[in-house]
Structure 1
Amino acid sequence: MMEARIQSVGRAAALLDGMADGGWHALGALAALTRLPKGTAHNLIGALQDCGLVEHDPARGAYRLGLRFLALGRAVERRLDLVPMLRPLLLRLSAETGETVNLAVPRPTDAMIVESLEGTRHGVRVSSYAGTAAAYHSTACGRALLAHRPEAERQALYALGPLRAETPGTVTDPARLEAILAECRRRGWTEEREENEPGACCVAAPVMGPGGAVAAISVAGPAARMDPRTTARLGRMLRDALRPIESHLAA
């Protein structure tokens, strides 16, 4: 059974995994497969059914994945399609700025860097790696995504525990972070200066789709090269570069 921060979430996920073949499954079989008490499995599947994630056939006394997964799966497909769609833009931004350019996508409690292009113009640069996690509160790409999550989701994230201070300058107060996120929504981009890594600065903008921010693109470099005028210029550059992409996603 998969582990999760909240035990009931992990148990529910295990039940969904047990129905991953799309067929009908008896409650007893699912309980045995996941090693859950039958009563616990029944309660969790009932909650999943209420959310539209599971369907129940009373005649068979069996359960299968609900149609809501079709919409969720298509949303994931659109997100994955973004990588090849945005790669030409990432290459252009890396060439124009000479800095490291990252593409991040949202996950439940953090973002993930799925593409990273290191600038080659400067000997000293900031390095990032595809497949690494990016904290929502301390990275620019994380903030660009978090700013467009529903307020209830943001508050739920804050409730998981204190925000970690990655550096002495990291904003860890949710109220201060909320003000930064509001500014991101207002101007269309955000930044962080030495909050995730000493000596580094990053500017990011969300990639807005019909349902909200589906990804974020960031430009990162040494703080010594990223003065406020430079970060503002990069932020406007990102917003201008993303408008055609967002128009395509909205079509």
Structure 2
Amino acid sequence: MTDLAAWIALTFDHEPRDLADWERALTHASRGEVHYERLEFLGDRVLGLAMAEWLFETFPGEPEGALSKRFNALVTGAICAEVAREIGVPAHLRLGKQARDDGAGDSDNVLGDVMEALLGALFRDAGLDPARTLIRRLWSERLHAAETAPQHPKSALQEWAAANQRKPPCYEVVERSGPGHAPRFTVKASIPKLAEATAEGGSKQEAETAAATALLREVSVPIPKKRKV
């Protein structure tokens, strides 16, 4: 058994019948035409279905909106990247030299995509049941971490603006830097005629979320009253 097959058997509790999909799931586009992106597309849907089913079963008393909040918090690229690091994905990544030199091996974007691609490979090799079991094992602590459904920062900022008779928040990409496989986005979030905040992220969505978090923190701080002289 190869090192890769042994890692798959240990980590995914499944002995691969064919390593081709698994190798592809771990291969970045910088290595050539055969890479993880098609399997990522499939794995994203596998994760989505398994997570939606799990949340539906686990929180029977919650309405659709609360389930959606939980879902959106659990399937982000950043969470997928965390899971990928925990199971040792970086050691098995196949990167071109330039991508490796540029830090793609520790990029949330790359690791999150590869984690989804691996779920796609498992689904193709073993079916939905093993994929579902793996997801429930790897995401278990995260799913049960919050007693109430987490509020996404962008939704929370939108609700704050509405509750305080303000215009809806706006988001603007003010800078994009870095190579294609490891971009950095700088986004400005603003509530017109009130306040703004800027933040960075490895994707536009991540940067918008960070900017919304920063702006929500700023507008939620009470303004000190002026002392009478």
TM-score by length of 2: 0.25
Report which structure shows greater RCO (CA 8 Å, sep ≥6).
2
Bigger proportion of residues as helix = 2
Task: Write 1 or 2 for the structure with the bigger share of strand.
Answer: 1
TM-score normalized by the length of structure 1: 0.23
